[in-house]
């Protein structure tokens, strides 16, 4: 149970007990955790302490809280395949995750040097900048900044809002298929804002994925800088 004389915070001890039960399969993926009153009785602690423990588990990506329903064991790390045909929604749906996301920014800006280089356009050319958080079963997995040539995608904000996926949106502009032209992966620590948006500790690394998508003629149509929660995703490379 918990040791009040150990010097370790009670909420941390409770979190470690529950994390061990998740790892051992005692609490299985998708299973609902005991209610707050049940956990209070089990560990002999206050509701505040229980909520601290559950909040820590959610930050680690081990559980997810659903308003009005309770707290559930997360399904585990997402196996995300990077290939020439990588599609976010398809990747998640095939594994039983529900894809989702929140748009944080949509703006037209002059292309910075790196964006212009990646899109093969002149620096300062207008580009669409979209920033958002992508989720799996409501849990943030990626914080992305994506750039599109503005002249090729007029009225993109409306088109994207009216279509369920990026692929469907691009099809409106006659791009019925596209390929991953390049992918680069590196690791770094997140800043405070990135950690907050990804709901992860600032002390945990993120995987940075830089990618360029191109149409069938090889012309870049999108450049993206995605920050992925390292504890919640395993990348599989398939460029054969």
Show me where the domains of the chain are located: 10-73, 78-238
Q: Are strands 139-149 and 179-188 parallel, antiparallel or unpaired?
A: unpaired
- Reported as a pLDDT band with limits 50, 70 and 90, residue 22 is confident
Residue 79: its pLDDT value, please?
A: 81
pLDDT at 76 over 70: no
DSSP 27: S
pLDDT digits (tens, 9 = 90+) for 173-208: 999 999 999 999 999 999 999 999 998 878 889 999
What value does the mean pLDDT take over residues 24-37?
Answer: 88
Residue 239 pLDDT level (bands cut at 50, 70, 90) = low
What is the topology classification, in CATH, of domain 10-73?
A: Arc Repressor Mutant, subunit A (1.10.10)
Whether 75 contacts 93, CB under 8 Å:
no
Cα(61)–Cα(54) distance, rounded to whole angstroms? 11
- pTM of the full structure: 0.73
Phi, psi of 34 (to 5 degrees): -55, 155
Residues ≥6 apart with Cβ < 8 Å to 26: none
Q: Are 197 and 140 in contact (CB under 8 A)?
A: yes
Q: Which CATH class is domain 78-238?
A: alpha beta
Listed in sequence order, the DSSP H helices in 126-240 are 156-162, 166-172, 192-198
């Amino acid at each position: 149970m918990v040791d009040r004389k150990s010097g370790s915070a009670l909420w941390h001890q409770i979190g470690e007990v529950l994390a061990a039960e998740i790892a051992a399969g005692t609490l299985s993926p998708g299973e609902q955790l005991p209610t707050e009153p049940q956990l209070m009785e089990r560990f002999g602690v206050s509701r505040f302490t229980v909520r601290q423990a559950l909040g820590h588990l959610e930050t680690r990506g081990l559980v997810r809280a659903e308003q009005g329903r309770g707290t559930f064991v997360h399904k585990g790390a997402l196996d995300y395949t990077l290939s020439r045909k990588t599609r976010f929604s398809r990747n998640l749906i095939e594994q039983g995750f529900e894809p989702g996301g929140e748009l944080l920014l949509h703006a037209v800006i002059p292309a910075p040097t790196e964006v212009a280089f990646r899109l093969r356009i002149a620096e300062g050319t207008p580009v669409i900048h979209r920033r958002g958080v992508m989720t799996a079963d409501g849990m943030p997995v990626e914080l992305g900044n994506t750039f599109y040539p503005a002249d090729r995608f007029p009225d993109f904000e409306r088109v994207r809002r009216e279509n369920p996926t990026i692929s469907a949106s691009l099809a409106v502009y006659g791009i019925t298929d596209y390929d991953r032209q390049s992918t680069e992966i590196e690791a770094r620590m997140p800043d405070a804002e990135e950690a907050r948006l990804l709901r992860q500790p600032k002390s945990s690394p993120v995987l940075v994925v830089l990618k360029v998508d191109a149409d069938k003629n090889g012309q870049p149509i999108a450049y993206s800088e995605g920050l992925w929660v390292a504890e919640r995703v395993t990348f599989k490379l398939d460029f054969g």
